[in-house]
Amino acid sequence: MVNKIPSNLEECFEHLDQIFKPENKEAVLHNDGFLDIGLGRSLRNLWGLWEDSPLKDWFNERNIWHPDDMSGIILTSYKRYLINQPIELEKQLKCCQNYWINSGVDIKEEMLKSQSS
**Which tens digits make up the pLDDT trace of 47-105?**
999 999 999 999 999 999 999 999 999 999 999 999 999 999 999 999 999 999 999 99
Question: What confidence score (pLDDT) does residue 28 get?
Answer: 75
CA atoms within 13 A on the CB side of 47: 30
Please give the model's pTM, rounded to 2 decimal places: 0.90
Distance CA 47, CA 36 (A): 15
* Integer angstrom CA distances of residue 2 from 12, 28, 60: 10, 17, 22
